[in-house]
Amino acid sequence: MKNHLDIVNFVGDLQNLQQYQDIHWEGPFQGYINLVVENPNIARTAYQRIADMILSYGTSIRREFNREIIHYHFFDDHFNEGRDAVFGIDAALMKLVNIFRAAASEYGTEKRVILLHGPVGSAKSTICRLLKRGLEHYSRTAQGALYSFRWISNGDKYVKNELLGGHDSFACPMHEEPLHVIPEDMRHSLLEQLNRGRGDGERRMRIRAGLCPPCRFIFRSLHRHYHNDWTKIISHVQVMRLNLSEKDRVGIGTFQPKDEKNQDSTELTGDINYRKIAIYGSDSDPRAFNFDGEFNIANRGMIEFIEVLKLDVAFLYDLLGASQEHVVKPKKFAQTDIDEAIIGHTNEPEYRKLQNNEFMEALRDRTVKIDIPYITKWSEEVKIYKKDFNSQRIRGKHIAPHTLEIASLWAVLTRLEVPKKSNMSLLQKLKLYDGKLLSGYTDESVEELKKEVHREGLEGISPRYIQDKISNALVNIRDTNQGCINPFMVIRELEDGLNHHSLLNNEEQKKHYRELLVIARQEYEDLVKSEVQRALSAEEEVLQQLCSNYIDNVKAYTQRGRVLNRYTGEYQDPDERLMRSIEERIDIPESRKDDFRREIMNYIGALSLDGKQFDYKINDRLRRALELKVFEDQKDQLKLSSILNSVIDRNTQEKLDVVKGRLIKNYGYCEICSSDVLNFVASIFARGDVRKQP
């Protein structure tokens, strides 16, 4: 008999009823004041809350080309399992967070529209989505708690029938801070009490905004009803925990312009509710007005303007007031206070239109622009595709090693400006940006490269194009039952797609991108030759013995001594031929051999002083030289080119199987792509291409 899942009890066990009670707390106004005294942060402004939210996830600092780069872990998207993680643009994100932090301290940027500017697919929307999801999650934590209020009848028939439209409660439509019900003439004294004992470095609480029109109407009516007795007025105020939610339109708004003929400013500031006019008797009664425009519902959080510069000019007046004065003007009502971060994003053509439009001068003056470029660091670009194309998402398929890396390499190459140094290639520049060490170049060299560029990262191929072509390759192998895609399949898709790329109209640019694909293909050939060479020369004892012989000879050479021959028992001069046969594998010229040998001995000496033993594996250059030397010595034993023959003898097949096993175990190949890569490297050797690796 099958075990049936008791879905009701299963879900019931997953519930956290205590957590539900915490995030749906309700209580009297005095209870809220007690909470504020214990934790003044619950009365923060929207910018303060966003800044604290980002910082709450922690930071890490790294040195990059003589600069200190702060990585904010918030943008790793831990609260959503990394689905919207942002990679490789830490410098741009630092600028964004600095704006939030300045706005939180009220240094002026809280009065600006934050404009994310960059090419299509550069993560502008993703950043906004992260901030919105982050606010939703943060508002449900103890650190991010915030509160609003509703008016309640409290058993008073006059309040219920005359003020609340026959209902027992009326929630503030703009989710206001409960402290706004404190009359302005009493605020100074209350704030003195609340801020008592707070140091100069701590944020001081402020109450600047007033009540929204319907809440002000109810407050004034109660004021008359109770003859100015505020203690009785607040008996009709019930405070409740506020949980921000874009879908529920609480504290998070999103506005997307439609075509110019259909744009209506009431979408931002609300409109009259004609059905309620019959209840309240007048269209000038604020209770008969829907304060549900995007500016209204985004109060206490943030509003995102998608393609903000496509807004009709009439909308700009609302935007200017909302940013500079923190007010909006609903139809037929006074200016209404708001507290929210205003973030828009746009692309290059729209921004150029803004610059050329003299009527937009006021908006330009109230805008803080942050460039969100494409990634120009190879290893960071790879992370995008590894997130999207991993074993969990492409079940039953396999992506050969280096497939995503080569696609990423080409994408980054298209975004880099050609270096002005005549002796530097675009590929070398890419590797320097990625932190690779190249002979003759330092961190200062990279700083110079970055200073000479003007639009690097603002042009080139979008990650979306790469994702689309990898998807095409995956679909194609499903149709042909191959089960594995390799870099050549993806390169073919990338090249074919250039003919139909919707954003590429320049034939010269297409030609340049095809030339970069040739560079990417050559880099792949170098990578797989290196891996096959290592798989062939992976016999640990042989490498250890060769290393030991080399070190003995180098030691004798640098100390002007002799080497003991273990077989004859005689001392002899250092074996120059052996040392050079290893050093030449990594292009150490005759003129630099002494420097390299002293470098090796100094390295061993430093390890010895620290009580550590030398291991060739931790010195990448020496490891590479030893592997290439062993490969050159052993490749003829395997006769790799024999793979291309239709008949392979048993001994060769056994050796090939060992090499394939190493490729599968050590480098992530599968049965299909390990055979493919061996055939490919065999064809390279068959045509005599045995270029040394860099």
338 near 110, Cβ under 8 Å? no
Question: Which region holds residue 110: left if phi is over 0, alpha if psi is between -120 and 50, else beta?
Answer: alpha
**CA–CA dist 508, 149 (Å, integer):** 62
Q: Distances from the Cα of 287 to the Cαs of 57, 158, 334, 479, in angstroms?
A: 41, 16, 14, 61
Strands 289-290 and 271-272: antiparallel
**CA–CA dist 116, 95 (Å, integer):** 11
> Does residue 247 register a pLDDT over 60?
yes
314-338 average pLDDT score? 89
What element of type H or E holds 152?
strand 147-152
528-536 average pLDDT score? 80
> Does residue 7 register a pLDDT over 80?
no
Tokens of 370: 């942050």
> Does residue 191 register a pLDDT over 60?
yes
| pLDDT confidence of residue 569 | 73
**CA–CA dist 531, 622 (Å, integer):** 16
557-571 average pLDDT score? 82
Question: Which region holds residue 474: left if phi is over 0, alpha if psi is between -120 and 50, else beta?
Answer: alpha
> Does residue 591 register a pLDDT over 60?
yes
Tokens of 174: 């703009």
> Does residue 644 register a pLDDT over 70?
no
Indicate the pTM of the whole model: 0.84
- 361 confidence band (pLDDT: 50, 70, 90): confident
Three-state SS for 369? strand
Residues in the chain: 694
| pLDDT confidence of residue 264 | 73
316-345 average pLDDT score? 91
**CA–CA dist 202, 690 (Å, integer):** 66
Amino acid, res. 239: V
Question: Which region holds residue 526: left if phi is over 0, alpha if psi is between -120 and 50, else beta?
Answer: alpha
| pLDDT confidence of residue 480 | 63
Q: Going along 431-485, which residue ranges are E strands?
A: 484-485
**pLDDT more than 70, % of the chain:** 91
Half-sphere exposure (Cβ direction) of 181: Cα atoms closer than 13 Å: 32
Half-sphere exposure (Cβ direction) of 486: Cα atoms closer than 13 Å: 18
Half-sphere exposure (Cβ direction) of 283: Cα atoms closer than 13 Å: 8
The gap between the terminal CA atoms of the chain, to the nearest Å, is 65
- Kindly write down the DSSP assignment for every residue of 598-667, as one continuous string: HHHHHHHHHHHHTT----GGGSHHHHHHHHHHHHHHHHHHHTGGGGGSS---HHHHHHHHHHHHHHHHHH
Amino acid, res. 273: N
- φ and ψ at residue 572, rounded to 5 degrees: -145, 165
> Does residue 119 register a pLDDT over 70?
yes
> Does residue 694 register a pLDDT over 50?
no
**CA–CA dist 485, 491 (Å, integer):** 11
339 near 46, Cβ under 8 Å? yes
**CA–CA dist 427, 412 (Å, integer):** 10
**CA–CA dist 265, 268 (Å, integer):** 6
Of 208, 153, 417, 197, nearest to 327 (Cα)? Answer: 208
- Kindly write down the DSSP assignment for every residue of 303-361, as one continuous string: EEEETGGGS-HHHHHHHHHHHHTSEE--TTS--EE---EEEEEE-HHHHHHHHH-GGGH
What element of type H or E holds 382?
helix 378-388
- 205 confidence band (pLDDT: 50, 70, 90): confident
366-379 average pLDDT score? 94
What element of type H or E holds 487?
helix 487-498
> Does residue 250 register a pLDDT over 50?
yes
> Does residue 639 register a pLDDT over 80?
no
> Does residue 656 register a pLDDT over 90?
no
Tell me what the pLDDT averaged over the chain comes to.
86
402 near 524, Cβ under 8 Å? yes
Helices (H), 75-146: 90-104, 124-138
| pLDDT confidence of residue 492 | 93
Cβ-based neighbours of 494, under 8 Å, separated by 6 or more = 407, 410, 465, 466, 469, 517
279 near 162, Cβ under 8 Å? no
Q: What does the angle CA 164 – CA 165 – CA 171 come to, to the nearest 5 degrees?
A: 40
**CA–CA dist 194, 214 (Å, integer):** 28
pLDDT single digits (tens) 400-456: 999 999 999 999 999 999 988 778 899 999 999 998 877 677 778 888 888 888 889
| pLDDT confidence of residue 662 | 85
| pLDDT confidence of residue 279 | 86
- 692 confidence band (pLDDT: 50, 70, 90): very low
**CA–CA dist 622, 602 (Å, integer):** 14
In eight-state DSSP terms, residue 564 is E
